[in-house]
Amino acid sequence: MRFTPTPLAGAFLIDIDPVQDERGLFARTVCEEQFARHGLLGRFVQQSVSWNPHAGTLRGLHFQLAPDAEIKLVRVTRGAIFDAIVDLRPGSATYGKAFHTELSAADRRQLYIPAGMAHGFQSLQADTEVLYQMSTPFEPASARGLRWDDPALAIPWPGCAHRILSERDRALPLLHDCLPPNP
Ligand SMILES: Cc1cn([C@H]2C[C@H](O)[C@@H](COP(=O)(O)OP(=O)(O)O[C@H]3O[C@@H](C)C(=O)[C@@H](O)[C@H]3O)O2)c(=O)[nH]c1=O
């Protein structure tokens, strides 16, 4: 696996090192020992799937409050997404900053998201399926979110003919209104 750091410390893009032959390819996607060499956790307690029949489906930006803050490992198993994360770690040099990338079934790239970041994505194709692994169980009482289009975050979401969002995501607060400024 190849680990590429992002501008947000602790968040990595992880690419496979495929072994190819006439049958196709084989590649490891999680390895506790290799992850540990990069200071990353390679053991997860929940895995969830999200199916998005339409392009332009936006989910996020979501996170869980401590002590339920989750590490997430995200990959696309069908289609493609624009994926965005926001650093909400108190004291972080990149607090309030966002990083975005594309992930697709074709590139098999994964995004490792450390605890203390909000996460969201928009499907770029119809019939897009996203697979997540999480370090901490889902805890509804700790679940929080930020507005996807918060101007302070300036995330360049791709344009689309029809954007689909849940009522909950539409009503999420701006960063400024839901978390204290960075100490
Ligand atoms: C996230 C989650 C939801 N649920 C339930 C709650 C609800 O009834 C239903 C749908 O939940 P949501 O509307 O929150 O699903 P969704 O908007 O897809 O939430 C997901 O968004 C992306 C961006 C993430 O990063 C994920 O961690 C998760 O927050 O599933 C679980 O049972 N376990 C879970 O881990």
- Please state the domain extents for the chain: 44-178
Query: What is this structure's pTM?
Result: 0.96
Nearest C-alpha neighbor of 162 from the set 127, 122, 119, 130: 122
Residue 107: per-residue pLDDT: 97
Q: What is the pLDDT of residues 148-167, one digit of tens each?
A: 999 999 999 999 989 999 99
Q: How many CB atoms lie within 10 A of CB 46?
A: 13
Mean predicted lDDT score pLDDT of the chain: 96
Q: What is the pLDDT of residues 83-137, one digit of tens each?
A: 999 999 999 999 999 999 999 999 999 999 999 999 999 999 999 999 999 999 9
Helix, strand, coil proportions of the chain in percent (round to 5)? Answer: 10, 40, 50
Tokens of 127: 């019939």
Ligand 1 first shell, C-beta below 6 A: 48, 50, 59-60, 62, 119-121, 132, 138, 166
CATH fold, domain 44-178, is Jelly Rolls (2.60.120)
Catalytic residue among 38, 54, 62, 176: 62
